[in-house]
Structures are given as structure tokens and as C-alpha cells.
């Protein structure tokens, strides 16, 4: 005759069961869902200053259709955007505007530097053109080309999606670009003002 100890299995009440499932769902949502929805509903801020902007428009139009990646809602208010697409050369006079718009965008935010000009200054190696916006603000993805074809820009958007997915939901923002800061290609000779340069 053995000793039988029987422990009745724990029966969760209905409320407890629901709460557990809910916790699990919320957890799953926080881990996967937030970034999943973020990456599929990027709202770009089109900072189109030059010819690359035309290609950006083509990317938004029906043939290439950036809406397939959920990024068709171009907003002209930085407060409603989370992806800045800098398309075109940026003059020094424009740089404060660009920086202010970037600062006005709500976190989390990402930046695409589209085209040779935005990334490096391109052929406009002159006194008035910024030689790569990444010298003055963070950039996540560089899209090469002059101008990049819409497919290339779409690849850039998909790269942003991969970055969004890889980032944690909370914690410090990881927007610090890919570490590809382009140094000025030429040694700039800083002269002192000559006598006839007067303000």
C-alpha cells in the first residue's frame, strides 16, 4: 500500500488566464509589433532641394510606388515625419534650415542621404555647397547615384526598414549612421582676410 500524494493541478481562473495571454501579447507587441508597424509605415519628410527630388517624386508615383513599402505619406511638417530624405545639394545657407527641421522631427527618426550631392557634395565642390550633410548631422543610409534610380532609393528605404527592425524599442537611440563620415577630399587652405576683404 503506497502513500499517494496527489496535488491537484492548478486551475487558473478565467481572469488570470486572460491576463497571462494579454501580457504575452503585449510583450510580443512591444518586442516585434512596434517596430513592425514603424518600419511599414515610415512617413518621409521630403527635403528635396535639387534634381534628386525629381527622382524622389518618381519613386512616389505609381510606376515605382513607394506605397508598397508603406512610405507613401510624404508630410511637409517635420512633426509628422520619422524619415527624412535629403534629396539634392544643400547650400550652406540651407544647412540651418535642414538642421532645424531635423531637430523638429519626433523621435525615433531616421535620415536618408540621397544622391552624390547630399552625401559628398558631388560635383559642386564650391564655397557655397555643403560637402556631405553627414559632416553636420547624423545620417543612417546613403543612397549612391546621380541621381539614384528609384530602385536604388527603394533599396535605401528597405535598408531603413532593416535598421528599424534591428533597433530595440526602448533604450538609447541607435541613430548614428554607419560610421561612414566622409572627410573633405581637398585640403582647404584657410587664409586670413586680405586687406581688401571688408565686411
Partner 1 sequence: MSKRSRRTSVNNIAHPAVEALGAQFAGLDFAPAPLNPQTTGQDVQLCVRVPADRLLDVLRFLYEDERCRFEQLCDLTCVDYLNFPKARDRYGVIYSLLSLSKEHRLWVRCFVNDPDPKVPSVVGIWKGAEWLEREVWDMFGVRFDGHPDLRRILTWEGFKAHPLRKDYPLRGRGEREAFERITTESA
Site of interaction with partner 1 (CB under 8 A): 92-93, 95-96, 99, 102-103, 125-131, 135-138, 173, 175-176, 184, 186, 188-191, 193-199
Nearer to ligand SF4 among residue 78 and residue 147 (C-beta): 147
Number of residues counted as binding ligand SF4 (CB under 6 A): 11
Crossing angle of helices 150-166 and 52-60, in 10° steps, is 70
Considering only 2-10, 44-52, 133-141, 157-165, which stretch makes contact with ligand SF4 by CB under 6 A? 44-52
CB of 141 to ligand SF4, least distance (A): 15
Element (H, E) at 86: strand 83-87
156 scored as a contact of ligand SF4 (CB under 6 A): no
Element (H, E) at 53: helix 52-60
Q: How far is 131 from 137, CA to CA, in rounded Å?
A: 12
Q: Within 13 A of 9's CA, how many CA atoms are on the CB side? A: 2
- What are the φ/ψ torsions at residue 129 (nearest 5 degrees)? -115, 135
| Residue 95 interacts with, from partner 1, ligand SF4, none (CB under 5-8 Å by kind) | partner 1
Q: How far is 196 from 16, CA to CA, in rounded Å?
A: 83
- Interface residues with ligand SF4 (CB under 6 A) are 50-52, 88-89, 115-117, 122, 146-147
Amino acid at each position: 500500500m503506497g502513500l499517494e500524494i496527489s496535488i491537484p493541478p492548478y486551475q487558473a481562473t478565467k481572469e488570470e488566464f486572460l491576463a497571462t495571454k494579454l501580457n504575452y501579447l503585449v510583450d510580443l507587441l512591444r518586442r516585434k509589433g512596434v517596430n513592425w508597424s514603424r518600419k511599414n509605415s515610415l512617413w518621409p519628410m521630403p527635403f528635396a532641394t535639387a534634381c534628386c527630388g525629381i527622382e524622389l517624386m518618381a519613386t512616389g508615383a505609381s510606376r515605382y510606388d513607394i506605397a508598397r513599402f508603406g512610405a507613401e505619406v510624404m508630410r511637409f511638417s517635420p512633426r509628422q515625419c520619422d524619415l527624412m530624405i535629403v534629396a539634392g545639394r544643400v547650400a550652406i545657407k540651407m544647412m540651418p534650415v535642414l538642421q532645424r527641421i531635423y531637430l523638429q522631427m519626433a523621435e525615433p527618426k531616421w535620415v536618408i542621404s540621397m544622391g552624390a550631392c547630399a552625401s559628398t557634395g558631388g560635383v559642386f565642390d564650391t564655397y557655397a555647397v555643403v560637402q556631405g550633410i553627414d559632416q553636420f548631422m547624423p545620417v543612417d543610409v546613403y543612397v549612391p547615384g546621380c541621381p539614384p534610380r528609384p530602385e536604388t532609393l527603394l533599396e535605401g528605404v528597405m535598408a531603413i526598414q532593416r535598421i528599424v527592425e534591428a533597433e530595440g524599442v526602448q533604450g538609447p537611440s541607435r541613430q548614428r549612421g554607419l560610421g561612414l563620415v566622409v572627410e573633405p577630399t581637398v585640403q582647404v587652405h584657410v587664409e586670413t582676410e586680405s586687406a581688401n576683404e571688408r565686411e
